[in-house]
Amino acid sequence: MQIPKNAVLLRVFIGENDKNHHQPLYEAIVLKAREMGLSGATVLRGPMGFGHSSRLHTAKILRLSEDLPVVIELVDGEEKINAFLPALDALMKDGSGLITLENVQVLRYGSDAAAAPR
């Protein structure tokens, strides 16, 4: 699978406790992206953050939070990312979050060994 050199980075900012039915929302998003053939997804868990409510979420010992910030990053061509947006909207319909899009330039995807014919 090749990603176009000029691609789109989709970032989804949510909380660790956000759900889609009884499944963690970040998991539902990654599985849907895989189902729809996107090139890949990465889930990053943050030790500290706040969102539109200004409520601080932190992993500090004295202020344990069970709802740490989570960022899901997906990179693919504009067409595939745009096709994924309605599915993402449906997954996030019951919760809140921030979704951003950014034009990026892909310098490398995969290894040379993976691209070589066998």
Domain ranges of the chain: 6-108
Ramachandran angles phi, psi of 58, nearest 5°: -145, 155
The confidence score (pLDDT) of residue 116 equals: 47
Round the average pLDDT of the chain to a whole number and report it: 86
Give the pLDDT confidence of 6-42 residue by residue, as tens digits: 999 999 999 998 999 999 999 999 999 999 999 999 9
Reply yes or no on whether the pLDDT at 43 is more than 50.
Answer: yes
pTM confidence score: 0.83
CATH number, domain 6-108, options 1.10.8.60, 3.40.50.1220, 3.90.1150.10, 3.30.70.120: 3.30.70.120
d(CA 29, CA 24): 9
Non-local (6+) Cβ contacts of 15 within 8 A are 51, 57, 67, 68, 69, 70, 95, 97
Residue 71 pairs with which residues in a beta bridge? 13, 44
Residue 15 pairs with which residues in a beta bridge? 69
